[in-house]
Structure 1
Amino acid sequence: MILSQIFFGWSTFGHDEAINFFLKSAQKNQLPHANLIVGPSRVGKTTLAFDLACLINLYPDEEKSQDQIIDIQKDDKAQRIIRGLNSDIRLFNIDTPYILNGKKIVSKINISIEHIKNIKRETSIKPFESKSKVFIIQDCHNMTNEAANSFLKILEEPFENNYFILTTDLIDQIPETIVSRCQLINLVRVNSNSISEMVEKKFNVNHEKSKTIARFSKGCPGWAISAVNDEILLDSYNQLFSRIMDVISSSIEQRLNYSRKLSIQFRNNRNEVYAELDGWVDWFRDLALLKNQLGEYILFRENIFEYKKYLDQLRIEEIVSSINKIIYTRENLEKNVSPNLALDVLILELPYVNDHNINTE
């Protein structure tokens, strides 16, 4: 029987190569015990991790493979795993609480040594309701050095029936000693047309809106699905566009106020600041495309008239330089440089547009 007919119903979308790799590995009884899933934010890493947890625990034994068929979407055991109800499937991230000196602590900043100690304790306990225990470490680049060193020892001396699935979009920040002990799975951005078709068919969204959602998803199915269920996500792009327009023509004092708000926000939720900076890159990228008469490829198509008002004041060299500065700042923030300093320098170095001299024709 074809592999996909034995075990199907994956929630993962657009990553058939990864799915086929794991199916073939399961058929040979050679599923890797340590996996590192790499890809952009919301491309489907965590979704694949939970699907893989289902495969690890529910793939039919060899002698039963012709008789037993598993549909993840309909199987009760699979749904307990997907919904986070299975006690043997554990998710760890910066929001996972741990106990220290009798107190429950939530870091919100990193994955600490206490998280890894918790994992180590649990690896020695036999599974309760599944064949194997699966530990999913989300955004594993957030591990402290101490935590990473401790986790490496777990990988070097694993207990039987323990599987580890790590996810990250910043593989360069993970120690090579950990990377080398994991099966590397790279998830790339999914074709926009494929996402549009998925949104339209699966969620009964009209064609025009599905195209818009796919465009703003930038190849990440997770974002697209969230946008279907939460219209605020699409609206947030319009708000971001307005903020950028305000900042680009604001005074030094106003720019510094904006930068300081981002710095405070970074300490609470750095991913939101990364998304803000990515929005700036998109804004300048759109300007560069319009400069080259490629308006059909811009992201903020609904605001094309607003863009055209700025084209005369910004040279292509300034636009490209701004994109590079934003990317450089994001990379520095990922390396834990001072957010106050990095963001202040960036915002002050971005070009200034005098909105009183804008050509509105």
Structure 2
Amino acid sequence: MKLIKTCLRRVLILTDSSLSVAKHTSVIGWKTFGHTGAIRLLTKSFETNRLAHAYLITGPEKVGKRTLALDIACMVNTEPVADMFGQSTDIDLSKSHQAERIRAGIHSDVEVIDPATELPASPERKAVSKTTISIDHIRQIVISGSSTKPFEGMKKVFILDGAHRMVREAETSLLKILEEAPDHVLIVLTSPTTEALSQTVVSRCQLLELRPVESQVIESKLIEQFGTDEAQARLLSRLARGSPGWAIDAINDPTIIDAHNQAILRFAEIVTGSIESRFRYARQTAGQFWQDRMAVFYEIERWIEWWRDVAMMRHKLIDNIINVEWVDLFSQIATEITEEQISAAVTAIENARHALEANAVPQLTLEVMMLDLPWADPAKIPSLNPESGDGS
């Protein structure tokens, strides 16, 4: 009898020990990569039941903000996998049925809201400009949705993708739910910077700042997960400038690379072109600014990258070139433009960006930028002459 009691006691000790280990739940299978700090923070907060009620994810375009936001939604709605003893162990975001539905956009408890999101109660609003997140988006989707409990998951998640595009009234309306969010609601905002939102909204959120991902990390992921050949992966990882989403999009859409190459040539033609062609570019880009501000800011970033490559070739630093397939073009332009002119060009472009961010008149701002750019003699740039045979 004593032997039986001893054996039972040992079984109970082992069982208690197993239970204590099983209580530690890990989150695996993230789609997000290259942002280990953010993943570590979220995992730790989730494991200790200390998740914030709202998160603000910032970072450059295509760096992974939306992917991380969806990963968060998957994490809070995925149940742990049970082990052989029926105890919860890991939460695997790559195999979860809830995660599949969330990423497919068909989960009833997760709403992704951006300027193009249609309002359920107002079909006539489809004709409204798709450039901002309106107060009706907040009222009809976020506030209305927060009033009901989750239907198929454990939390209701509202992702405002491009929260910096909220109108002032929408921000004010959102503040009410941020300050009084129910326990079953989680709100995730994405924005390029904190400055693009009111500081009152920012102060109500836990900040997750995403930095550009190292090109080697992007290259490895393209090869391992997408089966990209090494040469193409190396090229895309450099052109991505730290934004994995851009590289992934470029794999699936060859026109992205075409558009990038067209921009390289477009800038070269402007630098070697007439004042009329520069003013025409300024007018066209200013017109685009009213339709898609972010596209113009992206164009400005391309300009800075373009001049960076000219500067690298000025110093014969070929290994530091981003657009390696255009080495000849950049080398030829670098021989015609001084280092001081390159520096002045970058300053002019940055001044234009700051002016546009401060709501200056777009066409006037871009015309000033065009006037401040140096000029190179097109006759001395063989890569721009299709008959020369030296083009990239």
TM-score by length of 2: 0.86
Are the equivalent residues in 2 in contact too, given 1:3–1:23 (CA < 8 A)?
Answer: no
For 2:131, the equivalent position in structure 1 comes to: 109
Alignment of 1:182-193 (within 5 A): 182-193=205-216
For 2:34, the equivalent position in structure 1 comes to: 14
Query: How many residues of Structure 1 are paired with residues of Structure 2 in the alignment?
Result: 361
Are the equivalent residues in 1 in contact too, given 2:307–2:346 (CA < 8 A)?
Answer: yes
Pair 357,68 (structure 1): closer, same or farther in 2 beyond 3 Å: closer
Match of 2:55 among 27, 35, 46: 35
Gaps of at least 5 residues in structure 2 are 1-20, 384-389
Pair 11,18 (structure 1): closer, same or farther in 2 beyond 3 Å: same
CA-to-aligned-CA distance 1:45-77 (integer Å, 9 cap, x gap): 100000000111225499999435432222211
Are the equivalent residues in 2 in contact too, given 1:312–1:359 (CA < 8 A)?
Answer: no
Match of 1:78 among 93, 99, 105: 99
CA distance in 1, matches of 2:243, 2:23: 26
SS of the residue corresponding to residue 205 of structure 1 reads coil
For 2:364, the equivalent position in structure 1 comes to: 341
For 1:216, the equivalent position in structure 2 comes to: 239
Are the equivalent residues in 1 in contact too, given 2:25–2:47 (CA < 8 A)?
Answer: no
Gaps of at least 5 residues in structure 1 are none
SS of the residue corresponding to residue 297 of structure 2 reads helix
For 1:161, the equivalent position in structure 2 comes to: 184
Identity within the alignment, %: 36
Question: How far is the alpha carbon of 1:213 from its aligned partner?
Answer: 0.5
Q: Which amino acid is 1:235 matched to?
A: D
CA distance in 2, matches of 1:65, 1:194: 37
Q: Which amino acid is 1:54 matched to?
A: C
Alignment of 1:50-69 (within 5 A): 50-60=70-80, 66-69=87-90
Question: How far is the alpha carbon of 1:163 from its aligned partner?
Answer: 0.6
For 2:3, the equivalent position in structure 1 comes to: none
Q: Which amino acid is 1:14 matched to?
A: G
For 2:345, the equivalent position in structure 1 comes to: 322
Question: How far is the alpha carbon of 1:201 from its aligned partner?
Answer: 1.5
Question: How far is the alpha carbon of 1:356 from its aligned partner?
Answer: 2.7
CA distance in 2, matches of 1:46, 1:344: 34
Alignment of 1:276-295 (within 5 A): 276-295=299-318
SS of the residue corresponding to residue 88 of structure 2 reads coil
TM-score by length of 1: 0.93
Match of 1:87 among 86, 102, 108: 108
For 2:217, the equivalent position in structure 1 comes to: 194
For 1:241, the equivalent position in structure 2 comes to: 264
SS of the residue corresponding to residue 125 of structure 2 reads strand
CA-to-aligned-CA distance 1:338-360 (integer Å, 9 cap, x gap): 22222222122211222135588
CA distance in 2, matches of 1:333, 1:62: 54
SS of the residue corresponding to residue 107 of structure 1 reads coil
SS of the residue corresponding to residue 309 of structure 1 reads helix
Q: Which amino acid is 1:148 matched to?
A: E
Which region of structure 1 is more displaced relative to structure 2, 29-38 or 262-271?
A: 262-271
Question: How far is the alpha carbon of 1:310 from its aligned partner?
Answer: 1.7
The RMSD of aligned alpha carbons is 2.5
CA distance in 2, matches of 1:99, 1:60: 33
Pair 346,60 (structure 1): closer, same or farther in 2 beyond 3 Å: same
Larger CA Rg, structure 1 vs 2:
2
Pair 292,338 (structure 1): closer, same or farther in 2 beyond 3 Å: same
CA-to-aligned-CA distance 1:272-325 (integer Å, 9 cap, x gap): 222221111111111111222212101121111112222232111111121122
Q: Which amino acid is 1:84 matched to?
A: G
Q: Which amino acid is 1:80 matched to?
A: R
SS of the residue corresponding to residue 172 of structure 1 reads coil
Which region of structure 1 is more displaced relative to structure 2, 339-348 or 351-360?
A: 351-360
CA distance in 2, matches of 1:99, 1:300: 45
Which region of structure 1 is more displaced relative to structure 2, 62-71 or 152-161?
A: 62-71
Are the equivalent residues in 1 in contact too, given 2:270–2:278 (CA < 8 A)?
Answer: yes
Q: Which amino acid is 1:116 matched to?
A: I
Question: How far is the alpha carbon of 1:169 from its aligned partner?
Answer: 0.7
Q: Which amino acid is 1:198 matched to?
A: K
Question: How far is the alpha carbon of 1:191 from its aligned partner?
Answer: 1.0
Pair 4,250 (structure 1): closer, same or farther in 2 beyond 3 Å: farther
CA-to-aligned-CA distance 1:80-129 (integer Å, 9 cap, x gap): 01111102111111111237876224432221222221221221122221
